[in-house]
Chains A and B, each alone.
Chain A
Amino acid sequence: EAQVTQNPRYLITVTGKKLTVTCSQNMNHEYMSWYRQDPGLGLRQIYYSMNVEVTDKGDVPEGYKVSRKEKRNFPLILESPSPNQTSLYFCASNSPGRSNTEAFFGQGTRLTVV
């Protein structure tokens, strides 16, 4: 089954404690991306990657890091989480093409930073 898998689904952590949210896709997609979703602010892109070792900032990259060492994985790293990073996070993937706006999203990770 084609899917994007995020882990963990829920996470509560303390301010400053480094954490990683994993994302893996099994569709051999070149493009992967991270979004956060907050009430009233909609979905905002954090980082995206167009292929292995190619990443770029989205709209709200501050406080986040990413890496793309393998095509299937795109982890999101919070080196020093703060309460304002409490949010619902989604990973997405798709392939480039003439009509490549069809993206597949993960189930989401609800992060709470206290």
Chain B
Amino acid sequence: LAKTTQPISMDSYEGQEVNITCSHNNIATNDYITWYQQFPSQGPRFIIQGYKTKVTNEVASLFIPADRKSSTLSLPRVSLSDTAVYYCLVGVTDSWGKLQFGAGTQVVVTP
């Protein structure tokens, strides 16, 4: 499994764009990059997943450079309700059972 490194915390104001970068230097060829969001006392929620280049959905964008050794989750125009912990996961098809959640990034959005 690829080890991931992401900032422990980030602060932002409402309406700003938040970018969280995750490093995964030993990502394998078949690995996908997935991001989850977790609110206090709730289960993690899938946000977005990608393999290369850029993926966008109604919640966020995921940017993956050509070497795939890092990825950036972009949250556009955050609101107070985006305050949560964000986890970056990297894994392969057959090892889902061994996916590890790291410490994640605590994002705090203030007015």
Task: Report the bound CA distance from A107 to B46 in whole Å.
Answer: 14
Task: Report the bound CA distance from A2 to B95 in whole Å.
Answer: 23
- Once the chains bind, are B93 and A88 in contact (CB under 8 Å)? no
1/0 per position for B32-55, CB-CB distance to A under 8 A? Answer: 101000000111111001010000
- Once the chains bind, are B43 and A102 in contact (CB under 8 Å)? no
- Once the chains bind, are B43 and A101 in contact (CB under 8 Å)? no
Q: How far is the CB of B25 from chain A (nearest CB, A)?
A: 18
Which residue of chain A lies nearest to B35 when distances are taken between CB atoms in the complex?
A101
- Once the chains bind, are A31 and B96 in contact (CB under 8 Å)? yes
Size category of the binding interface on chain B: 20 to 34
- Once the chains bind, are B41 and A42 in contact (CB under 8 Å)? no
Interface size on A, residues (CB 8 A): 32
- Once the chains bind, are B93 and A108 in contact (CB under 8 Å)? no
Q: How far is the CB of A13 from chain B (nearest CB, A)?
A: 19
Interface residues of A in 43-68 (CB under 8 A from B): 43-45, 48-50, 56, 58-59
CB within 8 Å for A101 and B97 given contacts A42-B103, A108-B42 = no
- Chain A residues closer than 8 Å to B49, beta-carbon distance: 99, 101-102
- Chain B residues closer than 8 Å to A107, beta-carbon distance: 42-43
- Once the chains bind, are A101 and B96 in contact (CB under 8 Å)? yes
Q: How far is the CB of A108 from chain B (nearest CB, A)?
A: 6
- Once the chains bind, are A101 and B99 in contact (CB under 8 Å)? yes
Provide 5 A-B residue pairs closer than 8 Å at the C-beta atoms, listed in order of the A residue: A45-B99, A58-B97, A99-B49, A99-B93, A103-B96
**Additional A-B contacts beyond A96-B93, A101-B99 (6; CB < 8 A):** A42-B101, A44-B101, A48-B98, A96-B94, A100-B96, A105-B45
Query: Which residues of B does A touch, CB under 8 Å?
Result: 32, 34, 41-46, 49, 51, 87, 89, 91, 93-94, 96-104
The 4 closest A-B pairs by CB, nearest first: A105-B43, A43-B101, A48-B97, A101-B34
